[in-house]
Structure 1
């Protein structure tokens, strides 16, 4: 299949779909496509159907009977049979979809599948039965049935545990957000500092540029403040309320106020379970369920402490939601009044840097170490990149490590490939390097990791002084990573 000319990147996803859709082996097969909203899943699947003459059906929130009628109408328009389809139940409908592949491999897409399953919980079992081995309708078909959905909690359960469709799928494709480097290219931003500022607000969601901001991208570093005011903080744009809608669209989030409060607590810097409970003035056991639901929905990410067993922290995984809770939610009545955006943004900039930009920069540094850094630079391929707190008993202090790169264990102890510190607004010097050296010595004494080849990484959004550069030139264990290195080669 030829990828559409106007599709940015998505080479991996398109190749996976191509292999699945054009597979000539006999027998109908099942694929599952998931991902958070606005990532371009529908665009991918519609393009695949258009390239191969496949059938696409987008479900909506409706009763079971209405959905069957809509499918009957759509399939009639696609096949043009002698008489229109009128499916009595989903057994008939699924068999009709399998019949589409009687002559050749053909994709059949059911988008927003969770809506259909909510109205008829038996639907996954019906599809399982239709795809059972040796069933004539399955063996005589080469339909490539693709179920797609944005409700991550539901889609995650579709193929897990004792779910009816477990073991039936030949494709499980997750469409993820663009990483920081691709997002900068997508937004047409060549200045790495500006690119990270924009990414800290809208992340790598493609729809936010094309549909929600109508192609409005900052023209340069000096336009960033005005861009925030005219897009994200403007009540007239869809971006203004998008963070609230993302929460409302998750079917498992019923007590919205409680989930908003949990996210608000994390945005305020309360990253531990105990910290969240204290912020909400509740017991830790009372917030276990909402935290788990937010994790399943892909809105909250749990990260284990790299240096303390059984300790973990939480972060908001969607940048726009983090921005909303840190900057917009505390002053929402002010923002709803037209003309107040500039005034609010001027008063919120410091909060944005401390609560949004700084933590986001640290996360981008961790992702760079995991996915972009040359393994030769790190001394090996990372198995895990996280962060944590190192206790220093002799001095009765503790040290935060922003980036901890752990390698693959070949012996008794896993190698600690690197530890790093990330500073968005600080020019880093020799004191930062000395601090990392001390922390490395403390970790060595604990005996948990092999630190014989641990490198020291300094990440800075503003650069490094001469002493730090001389230390990096003369010490092979010191590496300085600035914004150009984080972003690689940007092009318009």
Structure 2
């Protein structure tokens, strides 16, 4: 077993996947030849840090590509290969048709990782490179005589996603497809050293679970407590002197498929303002619905937004921004950018703090509650949920709609009605009372009338500001009512 270095926080499953790829079990290792792994994820998630650690503990090779011409990239790659093998390349490589076979033949003694980071830089300058790798991994290629564990890594999500999709040359060749995600909310709080759950939610709603924002982008600045949160926002994300200030802009600019930044910022601003449906986004932007389909698809391919289906209305969906910092920028910073650039952060923050709580923290708290339900033990809702999401329940009698923030569904069983494990409502800045429970009960009744199995449905209230005595009494007297406090959310 390849031991994970102590300096690598969390990432247990990711490390297990990498270790299993580099040093497979004996039965699996009987297969000869080089193998291919693909590691991807948005920027700042610690991919390079993780792969460098892997290369160090396994005596593997790590090469980080840069934006360069093919000739310069080949020269840099040759130098890295020479340092690792301690064998001079006597005849310079003319192109990657020379370099890739030489690379595979240089790894014959034992299975070690051969890591090429920022692979999209290389493939952009040399579009044939994936095909060349595919050829050498195939029958008769130099990879058949190699023990290399080739790992291609990159942050350009549209490029990395295309490596193994559809008719791509490398489709079917990878023995490892690893996506490095941000830390989930509990791990993020631990990483930031925050033990107060309310403070943890507030900080997470700004910087999410991206590891780089903890040290590199804030110089290790962590709010000392709830009373320090406002000051922390002013001196970090709203401070023009910190890298975090312009980070949201750079995240969009770094994606090569985004050619009209103004349109994409408007789309993101629409979502951040609560216009999460296709029609709502189109209306906000001032375009027709079919004119924003492409921008939405590009943003989704770049892993900047996600499309979440309505669990109760087929064909309906809402869009959500994946990176909290982008939501914060679009909802808070973009509209007051000129003032922030001239160091008026305190004034701006006082003016927009309520907007932050309503448009940023509130929706983010709902997503954390869905994450809680996703990872819930079988004792919480009676069994492990098979599907988590949100949904809208029409109430024709009252001429309204009931939005259910957290829906937990059991697995679909043939010949049986779909069982609803839980219906939940999440409120960040409001003390939850009996009327919230009544709304959920009404939704349960309506769904039962539509054919869902709601006999064991748990009505769950997720309270960021607590619960009334009436609601607590109702929960104490009914096993199908659950109250989730901030403390339980982070337990």
Q: TM-score, normalised by structure 2?
A: 0.97
Structure 1 contact 424–460 (Cα < 8 Å) conserved: yes
Runs of 4+ residues deviating >6 angstroms: none
Structure 2 contact 138–144 (Cα < 8 Å) conserved: no
Q: Distance in 2 between matches of 1:6 and 1:376?
A: 34
Partner of 1:466: 469
Residue 460 of structure 2: SS of its match in structure 1?
Answer: strand
How far does the alpha carbon of each residue in 1:24-69 deviate from its partner, in whole angstroms, 9 at most, with x for none?
A: 4421000000011101000111111111111111111111111111
Structure 1 contact 381–408 (Cα < 8 Å) conserved: no
Structure 1 residues 85 and 112: CA distance shift in structure 2, 3 A = farther
Q: Distance in 2 between matches of 1:55 and 1:85?
A: 21
Q: Distance in 1 between matches of 2:213 and 2:92?
A: 39
Q: Distance in 1 between matches of 2:304 and 2:336?
A: 22
Q: Please say if 1:209 is aligned against 2:210.
A: no
Partner of 2:11: 10
Q: Distance in 1 between matches of 2:17 and 2:88?
A: 36
Structure 1 residues 297 and 309: CA distance shift in structure 2, 3 A = same
Aligned length: 484
Structure 1 residues 83 and 165: CA distance shift in structure 2, 3 A = closer
Q: Distance in 2 between matches of 1:286 and 1:85?
A: 53
Residue 459 of structure 2: SS of its match in structure 1?
Answer: strand
Partner of 1:390: 393
Deviation at 1:397, TM superposition (A): 1.4
Structure 2: stretches of 5+ with no match in the other structure: none
Deviation at 1:459, TM superposition (A): 0.3
Partner of 1:148: 153
Q: Please say if 1:158 is aligned against 2:163.
A: yes
Q: Please say if 1:446 is aligned against 2:450.
A: yes
Q: Distance in 1 between matches of 2:468 and 2:139?
A: 67
How far does the alpha carbon of each residue in 1:231-273 deviate from its partner, in whole angstroms, 9 at most, with x for none?
A: 0000000000000000001111111111111101111111111
Residue 212 of structure 1: SS of its match in structure 2?
Answer: coil
User: How big is the alpha-carbon RMSD for the aligned residues of Structure 1 and Structure 2?
Assistant: 1.1
From 478, 481, 484, the equivalent of 1:481 is 484
From 372, 377, 384, the equivalent of 1:374 is 377
From 36, 41, 47, the equivalent of 1:41 is 47
Partner of 1:281: 286
From 62, 72, 76, the equivalent of 1:70 is 76
Structure 1 residues 82 and 288: CA distance shift in structure 2, 3 A = closer
Counterpart mapping for 1:335-354 below 5 A: 335-338=340-343, 340-354=344-358
Q: Distance in 2 between matches of 1:82 and 1:311?
A: 60
Q: Please say if 1:175 is aligned against 2:180.
A: yes
Structure 1 contact 34–173 (Cα < 8 Å) conserved: yes
Partner of 1:189: 194
Q: Please say if 1:326 is aligned against 2:331.
A: yes
Structure 1 contact 68–89 (Cα < 8 Å) conserved: yes
Deviation at 1:85, TM superposition (A): 6.1
From 406, 427, 430, the equivalent of 1:426 is 430
Q: Please say if 1:123 is aligned against 2:129.
A: yes
Residue 211 of structure 1: SS of its match in structure 2?
Answer: coil
Structure 1 residues 400 and 78: CA distance shift in structure 2, 3 A = same
Partner of 2:33: 27
Q: Distance in 1 between matches of 2:219 and 2:102?
A: 40
Q: TM-score, normalised by structure 1?
A: 0.97
Structure 1: stretches of 5+ with no match in the other structure: none
Partner of 1:293: 298
Deviation at 1:393, TM superposition (A): 1.2
Q: Please say if 1:92 is aligned against 2:98.
A: yes
Structure 2 contact 205–361 (Cα < 8 Å) conserved: yes
Residue 124 of structure 1: SS of its match in structure 2?
Answer: helix
How far does the alpha carbon of each residue in 1:189-247 deviate from its partner, in whole angstroms, 9 at most, with x for none?
A: 00000000000000000000010011111111111011101100000000000000000
Deviation at 1:2, TM superposition (A): 2.3
Structure 1 contact 28–98 (Cα < 8 Å) conserved: yes
